[in-house]
Structures are given as structure tokens and as C-alpha cells.
Chains A and B, each alone.
Chain A
């Protein structure tokens, strides 16, 4: 058996475009879902119990639906209700929706684990409302859950492979296109796997470095 990596090399531009699309889709949906999750944190930590329960139900519903099914619903199901999205909007919407649910749950758990003393000190020093959240609570949340957010990003990158099902030209789609044209499934999928490993490995290294830094910062909690 001869391995045809020369063909892969010839098709490198297609892999590069696929990898690029995977990266920007995941980066943009990560940022958007973090912002949405921060907004969801308000009802999730509200003092009003009904509001809190409603928000929690929405988050749980989002977390308990398979990603592939959500993709089907957004791309194939929604047109029946009159909402027609092209594959790019559908992909982004699915990634953001799915990921927001996880991010909101991560932020809520982090918020619940924060020691109350720092927030109380901030109140005693005249903080309240948005300024309190922005200057004191959110930065501590990053220290508390930063590594978990990194892990979730890795999960998101792997989930994005399902988007090939709606012919979105991301990395898995590119690998599939190359293998079916030249009949070289092993080479093509191996290269895609190596690229996913490199991408996720880089994030993993950052996560580890971040975790070391965060665990040092957490020592300040007496």
C-alpha cells in the first residue's frame, strides 16, 4: 500500500481554507456565546426564584440537546416556520446557541464558588451594580473558570465537525471532499486529525499555563 501524501500536499489550500473556517467560526461563536452567557448570568443569579428557575430551564434545555440534532433543527427545521438561514448563518447560530448554554452554566457555577468576602469588601468601598460586576466579579470569574472555558472551547472545535453535514466548508468537510475525490480516506482523515490535534493541543497548552496562573492567584483567598 502506498500512501498518497503528495495528493494531500497538492490539496493543501483546501485543507487550509477548511482549517481557517473552523478557527474563525469557533472563535467568533466563542466570543458571542461568552457575551450572551454573561447576560444570562443576571437572571441565573437573580434573587427572584421564578426568574432564576426559568433561566436555568432554558440553559438546561440547551445543554441537553445533541449538537447534531440542533444543527438539523436550525438548518432543516426552521425553514418550515419561515426562518430561512444560509449555511453560514445556520452554522454560527447553532454553535452560539449550543455553546451559550454551556458557558452560562460554567459562569453560574464559577459565580457560586466565589468567596463572598471580596464582593462584600467591594460593596463596603462603594461598588454596586454594573461597576461591581465589571471591575470585581467578572475578573474573579475568569480566574475561577478560565481553564474550564478553555476546555469548552476544545469541545466546541470538535463539535464544529458536525457542520460538514450542512456542507459548510470547515476542516472535516474539506477532508471528506479530498478523500472522496481521490479515494484516499486514510491520508485525508489522518491529516485532518493531526490538524485538530495541533489546534486543540495549542489551546490545551494555553489552558494549562492559565490554570497555573489562576491557581496561584486563588491563593489570595484566605
Chain B
């Protein structure tokens, strides 16, 4: 088994049955004007689990992801990170919305990887990776750099540490983006269609890094159209359509014996 990619704070792979979910969504809903993007979503993701969210475009997959770290505040429902409510205060003045500072503190515990990488163009690969641990988490610089070099090596980009994003390929940019998320020592990693913007020949290098992470026991929620990745790396598959969870199953069950007509149609279209 490869050396763990996850930081020291990563959750243990095994977990007692009664331990709180890494993430729990209860009745989460979100509307954009007349359009109902999410309708009463309930979802539990256990520590160490890799959950793939599948569904046609416009089904609310990305919105679901962005509701977890409050980039998109849900209209209703509740989100919990290891049992703690996100977005609303629990201690002083319970029930009132968190301010920017409190939200920022919660977000540092959740790593996110975007479809278009969103690397900061004015920093090198290493600069991107160490930026938030140093300036937001305020960890010691030397320690952060050592860890960042380690993470960059793990994603196969040690030799590109001093290169600016403009001089990296799409696959390399996305791997730096994954390294940037890992350097935060996140309790949870969110992937928003991480390979959709890549040329087909660059998809493999990104998926293989993600696969290693899944094997190492990182808790991951992955929005993707990569059926092979979902089949090989996911513990569980969630099928979303029109803002509703239509089906939840183990990867094997979902791909071998899809339970609903809608998911059968979807799989047929994508396996063609």
C-alpha cells in the first residue's frame, strides 16, 4: 500500500458504527428563482468513505457540493461536519448565521478541487500549495514547505515546484490543485468535476492521484462523469436527478443492478 497521501489529521480508515458521519446533510434545499436546484437532500458520508455523485448535467450535483462548504448557502436544511453544524452558530447566539470569519474557519477544514482548477496565477506551484496553510491556518512556514514538497512529490510534481500555473498543462494544474487542498490537512475533500475541463489524454494522471487518495482513506465526495473511476474507487454512488437523490447504492450494485429506470437510462447513455 502506498504511503499515506493524507495529512496527519486525516480520519482513520475504520470507524466505530456509532461515530458521527464526516458529513451529514439533512433536508438540504436550494432554489435559484423558480428553479429548484436541490430538494430536501439527506446524505451521510462516513469517515474514510469515497462517495461519487453522478447524474445528468443540471441535476444539482455541483450545487450539492457547494452547499456543503457554504459557497452556496442552502435555503433550508442543515449540514454537519463531524457533528458540528455549518453555517449556523451553535455556541454563543445559537441559530444565528455565522459571519465571514467563522465560515472561513469551517472552510479551512474542507478541501475543494474545482473543474477549472482555479489556481492563483501569481504564485508558483509551491506558492499555491503553501499559501493558505501559512496565511490562513498560520502554521510555521518551514513545516508547511516541507509538507508541501512531500505532497507535490506524491502528486508527481516535485520537479515543477517553482513553475507558475501558466506553464503547466491542465493535468498538472489539477494535480497542483489537489496538492493545494491536501496541504490544508482537510477532514474532507470535495471534487467538482475535476477532469471535465481536461484533454482526454490528461484525465488518467488526475484520476490515478484521486484513486490513491481514496485507497489511503481520505474522505471524499466526488462529482464526476468518469464512470470507471466511480466503479473502481467509490464506496458508494449517489445518483441525482432534478435536485433529488434517485438512488444510493454501492458502486458495484449501482453499475451491475441499477434499481431505477432513470439510472438505467443514464448508465446506458454514458457507457455507450
Contacts and interface: CB of A to CB of B under 8 A. Distances in A.
Interface string B121-145: 1100000000110011100000000
A209 interface: no
Contacts of A123: 71, 104, 107
Interface in B56-109: 69, 71, 100-101, 103-105, 107-108
A139 B69 contact: no
B197 A217 contact: no
Contacts of B100: 128-129
Contacts of A139: 120, 122
A124 B164 contact: no
Contacts of A136: 120
A118 B120 contact: yes
B254 interface: no
Interface residues of A, number: 26
Interface in A175-222: 216-222
Contact of B166 (A121, A125, A127, A220): A220
A129 B136 CA distance: 12
Interface string A91-121: 0000000000000000000000000011011
Contact of A128 (B101, B112, B165, B197): B101
B173 A124 contact: no
B191 interface: no
Contacts of B184: 125-126
B229 interface: no
Contact of A222 (B69, B117, B131, B137): B117
B192 to A, nearest CB: 10
A222 B170 CA distance: 8
A128 B103 CA distance: 9
A172 interface: no
Contact of A127 (B119, B136, B167): B136
Contact of A124 (B105, B112, B135): B112
10 contacts: A118-B118, A121-B120, A123-B104, A124-B110, A125-B184, A126-B132, A128-B103, A143-B122, A216-B167, A222-B173
Interface of A: 117-118, 120-129, 131, 135-136, 139-140, 142-143, 216-222
